Structure 1
Amino acid sequence: MLKNYDVVAVGSGNIDLIFRVPRLPGNDDKVVGEKIAESPGGTVANSACMMATLGLKVISLSSAGDDRYGESIINDFARHGVETKYIQINPGQSPNMAIIILDDSGEKSLIYAPGNHCEWDQETAFNAIGASKVMYTMPGDLEKYAIQAKYARSQGTKVAVDIEPHIATNKQQMADILNLADIAIFNRDGFIASSKCDPDWPVLHAMRRKYSLSALVVTCGAKGVMAVTEDEEAEHPGFRVPVVDTTGAGDIFNAAFIYSWIHHYPLRSAVEFSCAAAALNIMKLGARGQLGRPEEIERFISSANREV
């Protein structure tokens, strides 16, 4: 099948409700805060918008309701240049919601409330996957992921996955995902939850070889990132910037890494570029607060390196 798109982003958007508080509440506690934003978000959706901003041709394979929330999600995809024709509109579908609580440091706590479950249309999904060079997803539904990833492989479409702690809680689930993946990006907690190991170089190299991955990446929050390919390993401590809101930092990193991989960046450059993209975004409010274009990210890197 002709590859008209660089990436199909498999996963629906959220509505993010963002509150600021002087401190995060504890058990049987109460704080007074303020609602500061209501905006579209969502892990895969944020990455889709970032990849499109970077210049990739991206389609969203997802669903949305026919209410104002669904309209907001679709309109924001379109505003960032994400193709929306494969989004399934379901009357009465309630959106995924995320309540994001920011303290004065800009670090977040998050409550995620999934919307009502909607069936997916296999023919539409296969058309979108077959027309794309890369399928990117957070595989929350392993049965659906397996069907889509196997089809992707049959069509020569590479599979990139984002794995957080709730996605794979044991080695078998991790194996089921990685056996069908080409690129795996974990956050540190997701890596430990699924592999039962701390991320270090021997473990990363062994895992990459075991599952024949093109790239294996572990993001470690403020401690930076580690990544391996067949021929390279690279790490980056992250950029020190004034933090306004860390929401979406991992999503933006993932998008920039996939962009770098598609454009054949050396691994060290890919990791640096991706960290820089995430750093730019956390200096603004919201998961899509400051989506940098390639030239903006490169200028940031040059400026940061001059200051070192």
Structure 2
Amino acid sequence: MSSQRAKDAVLIAGAYAVDLVLTDLRGPVSAGTEVWADGLDMVPGGAFTLAMGLHRLGRQTVWAADFGTDVFSREVLAAARQEGMDETGFRHHPRPVRNVTVALSDAKDRAMIAHEDPIAARPLAELIDAFRPSVVMLPFLQFGPDTTDALEMAAQHGTRVFMDCQDYPGHLGMDDVRTALGQVDVFAPNESEALRVTGAGTVEEALALLCELVPTVVIKRGPAGAMAATNGLRAAQVSPTVPVVDTTGAGDCFNVGFVHRWIDGSPLNDCLAAGVACGAAAVTGPGSSNALHAPELTTWLTRLPH
């Protein structure tokens, strides 16, 4: 894909994962015990969810990801091809590139164990310069000199930046974190991440602190929905009550819905509504398997509490 073709695209820079999702646990999980799970699914996850979700909603995407010779790489590649996703950003390596997450999931929460084979990702600044997308989505909190350079590159090309947190280490007491957040357009941690990053005692205080650095801040609150603020305007959206199968991937699906509307310049309330709808739909199936297509999003939006 040339930069000309990619100018209206969303660039997703992040590794794939395969989520092994164990559900319907027969008891609590603790060290030294064995717990049976009645449900087992293997679904693609990680940054695949962002690229696949936006693709289902009709957005042009460039997903920069690495794949190897292992069964997990083959599983995700097959899923991406079945979805009809663009492969221009893919790199293939003559060795295993495994990225696996085991999720122990119940109706309330999940525990996760992950493994990732080390591989040097393509530099973010290089990707932005090559594809020149309208938006770049970063799946986790990134900071440091390389990130600063990449986000400066994004600004030069008029590329807007959406950054998630994903519980990666970093807090506002670190200069590099404050610098990076000051360069992004949207920062979207979940509630616990927002409290940890800011050191705030309440989610409202965390929102206020983050808004001092970031033009638009979104805080995902699980079953409670989400809240956000931009340019002094605050908004909140309650989530509908749905049967919960697995919460893995729900935050990424929220990001997809939010960005889908944000790209078009929709009001903050509409962006939040789309995010909450996509996140709520996601928890009704394992992993991101229930990510919405555009007609389904229209239907889900009618289910949101007002």
Deviation per residue, 1:161-214 (Å, 9 max, x gap) = 001322424532531320221111011111111111145446524532x32x33
Aligned-residue offset at 1:79: 2.9
**Residue aligning to 1:296:** 296
1:71 to 71, 74, 79: 74
Which of the residues 80, 88, 98 maps onto 1:95?
Answer: 98
Gaps of 5+ in 1: none
In the other structure, the counterpart of 1:278 is 279
1:262 maps to 2:269 = no
Distance 1:278 1:6, change over 3 A: same
**In structure 2, the residue corresponding to 1:49 is in which secondary structure?**
helix
Shift of 1:302: 1.8
Equivalent residue number for residue 186 of structure 1: 189
SS in 2 for 1:142: coil
Match status 1:229 vs 2:233: no
Amino acid at match of 2:243: P
Three-state SS of the structure 1 residue aligned to 2:134 is strand
Runs (5+) with no aligned partner, structure 2: none
- Give the secondary structure class of the aligned counterpart of 1:228: strand
Q: Could you state the TM-score of these two structures normalised by the residue count of structure 2?
A: 0.88
State the partner residue of 1:165. Answer: 167
Partner in structure 2 of residue 176 of structure 1: 179
8 A contact 1:239–1:279 mirrored in 2: yes
Contact 1:187/1:219 (8 A) holds in 2:
yes
Identity %: 19
What does the per-residue CA deviation read over 1:89-142, in whole Å, with 9 as the maximum and x for residues that have no partner? 122133111001123x36322112222232425785244442x10011134553
- The residue type paired with residue 152 of structure 2 is K
Partner of 2:135: 134
Report SS of the residue matched to 1:197. coil
Structure-1 residue corresponding to 2:50 = 47
- Determine if contact 2:254/2:279 at 8 Å carries over to the other structure: yes
TM alignment of 1:238-249, pairs within 5 A = 238-249=239-250
Letter matched to residue 292 of structure 2 = G
- For 2:170 and 2:207, locate their aligned partners in 1 and report how far apart those are by CA, in whole Å: 17
State how far apart, in whole Å, the 1-side matches of 2:121 and 2:219 are: 32
Question: Which deviates more, 137-146 or 70-79?
Answer: 137-146
What amino acid does structure 1 have at the position aligned with 2:139? M
Q: Is the 8 A contact 1:129 1:135 kept in 2?
A: no
Mean CA deviation greater in 265-274 or 240-249: 265-274
Q: Indicate how the Cα distance of structure 1 residues 146 and 129 shifts in structure 2: closer, same or farther if over 3 A, else same.
A: farther
Contact 1:129/1:152, CA 8 A, preserved across alignment: no
Give the whole-Å Cα distance in 2 for the aligned partners of 1:122 and 1:298: 34
Q: Deviations over 1:59-79 (max 9, x none)?
A: 101211133322222232233
C-alpha distance in structure 2 between counterparts of 1:255 and 1:122, whole Å:
20
Q: Counterpart in 1 of 2:27?
A: 23
Across the two proteins, how many residue pairs are aligned to each other?
Answer: 300
Say yes or no: does 1:149 pair with 2:118.
Answer: no
- C-alpha displacement at 1:10, in angstroms? 0.4
Aligned to 1:111: 113
Equivalent residue number for residue 64 of structure 2: 61
> Structure 1 residues 214, 19: closer, same or farther in 2, change over 3 A?
same
Provide the C-alpha distance between the structure 1 equivalents of 2:275 and 2:124, rounded to a whole number of angstroms. Answer: 32
Aligned counterparts of 1:23 and 1:243: Cα–Cα separation in 2: 17
TM-superposition CA deviations, 1:274-295 (whole Å, max 9, x none): 111111111112x222111232
Which residue is 1:195 aligned to? 198
Q: What one-letter code is carried by the residue in structure 1 that aligns with 2:293? A: R
- 1:36 matched to 2:40? The reply is yes
SS at match of 2:302: helix
Q: State the distance in 2 between where 1:133 and 1:188 align.
A: 28
In structure 2, what residue type is equivalent to 1:226?
M
How far off its partner does 1:241 sit?
0.5
